[in-house]
Amino acid sequence: MSCGNPALILGNNPATAAHLSVYSLPGRPTQFRAGHMRNDPTLVGDAAKQPVTVAANCLLVKNAGPNQNLTILCDAGSGLHLPAATRSKLGIPDRDLLVENLAMLGVSLADIDIFISSHPHWDHIGGILDETGNLRLPKAHILLSRGAYQQNMENPAIEGQPSSFIPGMPEKLQALKQAGRLTLLSGDPSGLGGEGITCNLLGDAVRFYFSGGHSECQMHAVFLTDAGGVVFGGDFFPTAWHVAPERYMPQFDRDPKQLANEKELFLQRVRTGHWHISFYHDPQVAAARVLVGGPERYSSLIMGEEVRV
């Protein structure tokens, strides 16, 4: 599956949908060094320094919530607020792919009712800001994990200094909280093998799980459609290659051993639910069913075709 255009991952025909439908919605890609994306032992020397395209496959979910009338956006890609020189260095195109791809599905940022942030790193949450750094979701209610919120509050990014966070974001989140537009969800990785938690806004068809190996209290929404479940993988499973527990992102994951244990636990839950995982950073595979077992232990199914990982 190409990740350049929006595509229905699971759900009913949108023309007749009575229940939620999940779309892959590519935002603006960036470029990282290959060795930063993969702890692949064959990637050494110059090969590890080669730039690789890192996608930003957001999810758009339609017909969600107890009344099936809510539109959800999960993560938003990198932002327009970055200076032109930074964008050019990171290979980020000027085109606003998030808005363009939403329009292809007949949706605008003003239609988003709920924004779910997996974690507030710049390449995931930056797309909710405009060129001047202001929020461009006029009515959306934001869902974020309490742990990630606290981590950002305690480690605010400073302009001009390297950080995974965005300068000024803590103040914006606090303002949203005071306006009653931010809900913080609490959970921890011990629940990764269970049923997850729900929130009143979204009802039983959306479950939330929490992992800590990549970043503090990353949140993963699972959307239960009539055709199966879809996990928003965020940076827990950034690409199909990263599904195997021992594969992590050097320098980006805060605790590779914890991450491996969390993947082992959660993949069992994914398997029993026959869920798909969506891969936020994968330029080739938007989502796949993960098979656990067999000679390679982990592999993925996409559109009925198995993808070895």
Q: Which is nearer to Zn ion, 96 or 123 (CB)?
A: 123
Q: Which is nearer to Zn ion, 123 or 253 (CB)?
A: 123
Kindly state the smallest distance separating residue 121's Cβ from Zn ion, in Å.
Answer: 6
Q: Which is nearer to Zn ion, 96 or 235 (CB)?
A: 235
Distance between CA atoms of residues 292 and 294, nearest Å: 7
DSSP 3-state helix, strand, coil percentages of the chain (rounded to 5)?
25, 30, 45
Q: Which is nearer to Zn ion, 117 or 225 (CB)?
A: 117
List the one residue out of 83, 101, 92 whose CA is nearest residue 31.
Answer: 92
Tell which positions 216-235 bind Zn ion, by CB under 5 A.
Answer: 235
- Map residues 176-215 to x or -, x wherever contact with Zn ion holds by CB under 5 A: ----------------------------------------
Q: For the purposes of burial, counting CB atoms within 10 Å of the CB of 42, is it exposed (0-12), middle (13-18) or buried (19 or more)?
A: exposed
Q: Which is nearer to Zn ion, 276 or 281 (CB)?
A: 281
Number of residues located near Zn ion, criterion CB under 5 A: 2
- Work out which of 75, 96, 123, 262 binds Zn ion, going by CB under 5 A: 123
- Site stretch for Zn ion (CB under 5 A), options 42-50, 61-69, 120-128, 255-263: 120-128
Tokens standing for residue 33: 């060094």
Distance between CA atoms of residues 209 and 207, nearest Å: 7
Q: Which is nearer to Zn ion, 70 or 241 (CB)?
A: 241
Kindly state the smallest distance separating residue 212's Cβ from Zn ion, in Å.
Answer: 15
Distance between CA atoms of residues 222 and 230, nearest Å: 5
List the one residue out of 218, 212, 235 whose CA is nearest residue 36.
Answer: 235
Kindly list the distances between the CA atom of residue 225 and the CA atoms of 210, 222, 272, in Å, as whole numbers in the listed order. 20, 9, 16
User: Using the rule CB under 5 A, is 75 a contact of Zn ion?
Assistant: no
Distance between CA atoms of residues 77 and 29, nearest Å: 7
Kindly state the smallest distance separating residue 234's Cβ from Zn ion, in Å.
Answer: 7
Which residues are near Zn ion by CB under 5 A? 123, 235
